[in-house]
Amino acid sequence: MDGMRSPSYIKKLDDLLCGGLIKPSCILIAGSCGVGKTNLCMQSLFNAAKEGERCAYVSLLSESETKITRAMSSFTFYDENLIEDKLKIFSINSDVVAKGDFAIFEYINENILKDKPSRVVIDTMNVLEDIESTFDERPFHKSELRAFVQNLFQEFDENEILLLATGEIPASNINESIWSYIFDTVIVLDIQNDDENNYRYLEIIKERGSDFITGKHKFTITNDGISF
């Protein structure tokens, strides 16, 4: 594919992706809890914002903005001055999520897309597994969830947005997850044991219509964020 490439702003990851992320497209950052999904996404957002890109971080976990920024403030990529100006932080309340598909769509259109951001992070997709139909007030069938997410992604696509979303999916379950076939690109993070040492690794599982470097690549998390 000859789509436009946009850097993840994480050295080495851009090399593994043969130049960067395809824009517009949707990228799943998957892995179990604590592997570094939020850090990776935030590092990409802050660095993109520093380059002048309009960015948005959307929490679906009803976390306060203070809690979200506090977790990031010890990293060197963090810059308070970018928040509000270039990097907007949204937290979709559980009330909105409980109201169902239509309410979420409306919130995203009226709050996030109206700013015309070029890069958006949704943290985490799993929350959407429990959404209901706003009008019928009953849980979604799997096919309805898929249609809802595809419509949502189409909206991002039409707005030329690079969408990164996290998924609480252990590396070993990635192939069975509905999320892995909805997304264009799937990147999985994992922690493995090796002679009593824990190490983190990143693996690109797929990138639709493009080449990438396969294999498990070790990384660490330091004050500078994720580095290989």
Ligand X SMILES: Nc1ncnc2c1ncn2[C@@H]1O[C@H](COP(=O)(O)OP(=O)(O)OP(=O)(O)O)[C@@H](O)[C@H]1O
- Residues engaged in binding Mg ion (CB under 5 A): 38
Q: Which is nearer to ligand X, 33 or 135 (CB)?
A: 33
Only one residue has tokens 């598909």, namely: 101
Residue ranges of E strands in 16-102: 21-23, 25-31, 55-59, 87-91
Is residue 172 a contact partner of residue 128, using CB atoms and an 8 Å limit? no
Piece of the chain touching ligand X by CB under 6 A; list 31-39, 132-140, 148-156, 175-183 = 31-39
Only one residue has tokens 């580095």, namely: 227
209 binds, among ligand X, Mg ion, none (CB under 5 to 8 A by kind): none
175 binds ligand X (CB under 6 A): no
139 binds ligand X (CB under 6 A): no
39 binds ligand X (CB under 6 A): yes
Sole binder of ligand X in the list 7, 24, 36, 117 (CB under 6 A): 36
186 binds, among ligand X, Mg ion, none (CB under 5 to 8 A by kind): none
**183: three-class secondary structure by DSSP:** coil
225 binds, among ligand X, Mg ion, none (CB under 5 to 8 A by kind): none
What number of chain residues touch ligand X (CB under 6 A)?
Answer: 13
Supply φ then ψ for residue 82, to 5 degrees. -80, -25
100 binds ligand X (CB under 6 A): no
Which uninterrupted H or E stretch holds 216?
A: strand 216-222
33 binds ligand X (CB under 6 A): yes
Piece of the chain touching ligand X by CB under 6 A; list 36-44, 52-60, 80-88, 170-178 = 36-44
Show contacts with ligand X in window 209-228 (CB under 6 A). Answer: 221-223
Is residue 209 a contact partner of residue 51, using CB atoms and an 8 Å limit? no
191-218: b (≥16 Cβ within 10 Å) or e = eeeeeeeeebbbbbbbbeebeeeeeebe
Which uninterrupted H or E stretch holds 37?
A: helix 37-50
Query: Going residue by residue from 64 to 83, which x/- string records binding to ligand X, judged by CB under 6 A?
Result: ----------x---------
Binding site for ligand X (CB under 6 A): 31, 33-39, 74, 168, 221-223
